[in-house]
Structure 1
């Protein structure tokens, strides 16, 4: 949101800020306008209205940032006419005459348009050639992709997920995923699906659709949710996982490494989701807190939050033709984790409304509905569905980060992409503390007290120490007649248990 210029003091602050930067800024466009009304001002008015609003200032030199003599009445009239007649839809410009260094300056505060009115454009050039965005200190003509995204938001009608995959057939669906989805559909519709054939049910849910030749084929939604290998048809509708050695993308670490790990993750959405979680998990540290019997693993990033963020990226990404060449990206840096998907927030939803009651908008309505009933086994073995679609996903992310004593996520949305950033978790006082001899002995005894027996490997994995270290402690405990071995002393299958009290 831009800061309006409504007083002489506001104007002085704005001009001095630009003087220090020696250029226009994202929120301000200055012109000396000595020779009349500059035609490029209309581009800036459109760009401000399509972005975050801004201020047009006429009567200040772009080179010296000093005030100049202008025809105030003519500039006021031209600004008003441009806002009313030369731009579609018309914008409500707040036009004022202020003073800087003793001379009058014409100022127009241009508000950001409601998402339902974007993109506005210069009437004579038409929408394809007359739509602009404000970036930095310049006005840039929109691409057709950007115009299309604005139109989707305006009419709340993105239907790219129900486009038919021309070369695909029903045989390109994964039978295990499909059968699991069908079983859930049959069991949860209060009898509404009992009279439908599988084919009718898949057509009604837009998993399949008939093409122009009356051939039944998967839709984009059906292929991405239930396909055996969607990348056969859409090579870049996948996930690219990258773990970087430094906090700056592209920097080369010692030894010439650009990546610590990288992977192209393919498959249907449930398959990619699990693979992405595994990729993150193997590249982050898992701290430990001593709790009762041995330790409890605490990952750098809560996997529940990562799961929700990746699932949201796959479900809400832009599946339009122009965006099908861009994958979802999961990027792990030493100081943060970023998850990026093509396509910004859909409809009127803003980053400030994320996680609040009622704040949910679905770009891909049919895909999200299908994913609600796709069975999924998580990285920890828990069985559920790929998504809930109850408006709780972002709240789960915030809650998981808060439980891990982490800062809230940082969402960033532009017209072309959405990015969510998790800052690196700070270690608590308990984490990373090595076991002392006494608490290691007690931890082993507590672990065995909760089980009938345990192997050296099981104890080693639970404690996070080597098998050799565990054997040393076990030897001491056996000498104290607190623990006894089961089986041959030299057998790899040897187990240990507490000595029964008399």
Structure 2
């Protein structure tokens, strides 16, 4: 890490006023804090992070320094190598910062095959942590087991279900699966007899006595009534009348348990959600359109994913897939967090997918939803992207994903970003040339308050390069304000978007820039100092004024911040009342 990067991190901490998820600050005047082992474990088990010793959070992250930084660096390296399992190898460096020496340790995230990292003295159950917010939370025994199972491919869906034979499967469904496999995958299945097909597809596996027994995945995909063996492998649906789900005159508007094999549970859950949905009006092109509260594609994908990716280990078989409907959101929750290389940040990215229940999903590739020709799942890693695209097409906010190791939840907000009221608000800003994605981002900012590059991409479907360019354009237009920089950059609405602002209050920066220039030639950085405007706003207005012939570049035409600008003859004659931005 460079000294400039450390300065940027501390500036962001001071702006926020507290530690953040991937930075932990300690004063460390008396040596290494005991809590550091938990922080090392938490960073290694989550997304990695940075430990900074020698700053005092209670004094606004002032640089207090360290009495013996070299000794502290050696002690920290020893703690990482000898006290942690597996041993950690962070990058440790001493920095001169604001007249004091501070110690920075960059702790990388461990590969899933090595998690959990834990303190040897406390043991794997009591010494394993994850990073939550700006603190460290100890993992439960079940969460530790989930991390251990992620080191390899779980096989719970291939386990035999004792007492379950072919008689427990739907005969019509079995015949349809066999016929489809022989056609769609002839190399693997065409020349096999009926039982051999089911064995290769892992619908049947060997029992304790060597006889054919139905697998857990086979029972969930094709069973007549899987809940006879596993009563809690169901879907529960509850419709709450209030946003908190708390007390009301009517506790539930609907309360249903959905049973059967996975295809039937998908169909019936979709039917129940539809029954409880309303229709709403949204802006579509030049008019209004009535649509359901949640797009069909998003509903189907979120329900299918919850059922096929849920944890099937013995510790989770008492937990249902839960669907909760509130006036402002729909929540779908399943036991077991994300598996393998997939993270919340990578969800929906092309080529990023991982299947906890590989055998079950492979079977469901060739089983259609009841009454439809499409199969339950495609197993192409495209489900989350399809969900995001359908929400984007409906003008809705992207879902919130909540991965807690022991559970995973998807929250679909019940609103459209580009409602008639939101479109009217954006029109009132009187900014020409905004892209559709910038309009969506403004509406999202108005709703949630803060936005980053990742959230912009999820909400709009654009790539990182376009997101960065369009966000900077919004900053230049002074519609949003940037907080922090680089990977800590966040954006919020500026004063210009306040409801009380009218057309006459819109900011035209030409007069003050021309006044600041006077008869001199100034650079952008000098104009920033003289006017107090942001660099992006200065750059935008200088471009406009050059196109209008009010200013010109002196010398080189480079885009450097040090290029100088001066007023033209036309600029000397400029009067504010002569200008109409429209």
Question: TM over 0.5: same fold?
Answer: yes
Question: Distance between the aligned counterparts of 2:346 and 2:274, measured in 1?
Answer: 30
User: Aligned residue for 1:468?
Assistant: none
Q: Distance in 1 between matches of 2:349 and 2:137?
A: 33
Cα deviation per residue 1:266-319 (whole Å; 9 max; x = unaligned)?
A: 111011001100111011113589x9xxx9973111122211221111111111
Q: Do residues 208 (structure 1) and 204 (structure 2) align?
A: yes
8 Å CA contact retained: 1:33, 1:70: no
Matched positions, count: 414
Asked whether the equivalents of residues 407 and 423 of structure 1 are also in contact (C-alpha less than 8 Å), the reply is yes
The Cα of 1:37 is off from its aligned counterpart by: 2.8
* Shift, 1:62, TM fit: 7.2
Q: Deviations over 1:231-268 (max 9, x none)?
A: 112122111111121222x3223x2x232211111111
The partner residue of 2:373 within 383, 392, 397 is 383
Matches within 5 A, 1:133-212: 133-155=130-152, 157-190=153-186, 192-212=188-208
- Residue 48 of structure 1 aligns with which residue? 43
**Structure 1, 61-70 or 163-172: larger mean CA deviation:** 61-70
How far apart in 2 are the matches of 1:39 and 1:141? 15
RMSD of aligned residue pairs (Cα, Å): 3.3
In 2, Cα distance between equivalents of 1:86 and 1:26: 23
In the superposition, relative to structure 1, how do residues 228 and 15 fare at CA in structure 2: closer, same or farther (>3 Å)? Answer: same
Q: Aligned equivalents of 1:109 and 1:343: distance in 2?
A: 29
Q: Which structure is richer in relative contact order (CA contacts within 8 A, separation 6 or more)?
A: 1
Q: State the shift of 1:54 in Å.
A: 2.8
> Following superposition of structure 1 onto structure 2, how do residues 439-454 of structure 1 map, counting pairs within 5 Å?
none
Q: In the alignment, which residue of structure 2 is the partner of 1:233?
A: 229
- Contact 1:11–1:100 (Cα < 8 Å) also in 2: no
Supply the distance in 1 between the matched residues of 2:24 and 2:185 (Cα, whole angstroms). Answer: 57
1:87-106 matches, cutoff 5 A: 87-98=84-95, 103-106=100-103
Structure 1 residue corresponding to 2:364, chosen from 352, 355, 371: 371
Q: What secondary structure is seen at the aligned counterpart in 2 of 1:7?
A: helix
SS in 1 for 2:231: coil
- After superposition, the Cα gap between the structure-2 partners of 1:391 and 1:26, relative to the gap in structure 1 and judged at 3 Å, is closer
Deviation at 1:100, TM superposition (A): 7.1
After superposition, the Cα gap between the structure-2 partners of 1:100 and 1:422, relative to the gap in structure 1 and judged at 3 Å, is same
Who is 2:514 aligned against?
A: none
In the TM superposition, residue 202 of structure 1 has moved relative to its aligned partner by 1.4
Please tell me whether the aligned partners of residues 264 and 370 of structure 2 are also in contact (alpha carbons under 8 angstroms): no
Match of 2:330 among 334, 337, 342: 337
Q: Which residue is equivalent to 1:113?
A: 110
Q: CA deviation at 1:325?
A: 1.6
* Whole-angstrom distance in 1 between the partners of 2:176 and 2:127: 50
In structure 1, runs of 5+ residues without a counterpart are: 430-502
Alpha-carbon deviations, 1:145-164, whole Å to 9, x = none?
A: 22332233333x11111111
CA distance in 1, matches of 2:185, 2:378: 16
Name the CA shift for 1:314/1:71 in 2 (closer, same or farther; >3 Å): same
Q: 1:5 to 1:420 in 2, by over 3 A?
A: farther
The equivalences for 1:490-501 within 5 A come to none
Give distance in 1, aligned partners of 2:58 and 2:231.
Answer: 50
Where 2:210 maps in the other structure, the secondary structure is: coil
Please, which runs of 5 or more residues in structure 2 have no aligned partner? 421-582
Give the one of 379, 385, 392 matched to 1:395.
385
SS of the equivalent of 2:330 reads: strand
Q: 1:359 to 1:32 in 2, by over 3 A?
A: closer
Question: Of 220, 235, 247, which residue of structure 1 is paired with 2:216?
Answer: 220
Counterpart in the other structure of 2:351: 358
Following superposition, the deviation at residue 222 of structure 1 comes to 0.7
Q: Given the alignment of the two structures, is residue 412 of structure 1 paired with residue 411 of structure 2, yes or no?
A: no
Q: Secondary structure at the match of 1:318?
A: coil
After TM superposition, give the deviation of residue 331 of structure 1 in Å: 1.7
* Structure 1 SS opposite 2:161: coil
**Are the equivalent residues in 2 in contact too, given 1:12–1:100 (CA < 8 A)?**
no
Offset at residue 193 of structure 1 (A): 3.2
**TM-score between both structures, scaled by the size of structure 1:** 0.73
* CA distances 1:60-79 after superposition (whole Å, capped 9, x unpaired): 56777773763322211101
Q: Residue 354 of structure 1: CA displacement? A: 2.7
Within 1, Cα distance between the matches of 2:313 and 2:236? Answer: 19
Number of the residue aligned with 2:253: 260
Is 2:29–2:67's contact at 8 Å kept on the other side of the alignment?
Answer: yes
Classify 1:5/1:418 alpha carbon distance in 2 versus 1 (closer, same or farther; 3 Å): farther
> Does the Cα contact within 8 Å between 1:6 and 1:96 map onto a contact in 2?
no
Determine if contact 1:88/1:120 at 8 Å carries over to the other structure. yes
1:229 and 1:267 in contact (8 A); partners too: yes
Matches within 5 A, 1:288-307: 298-307=291-300
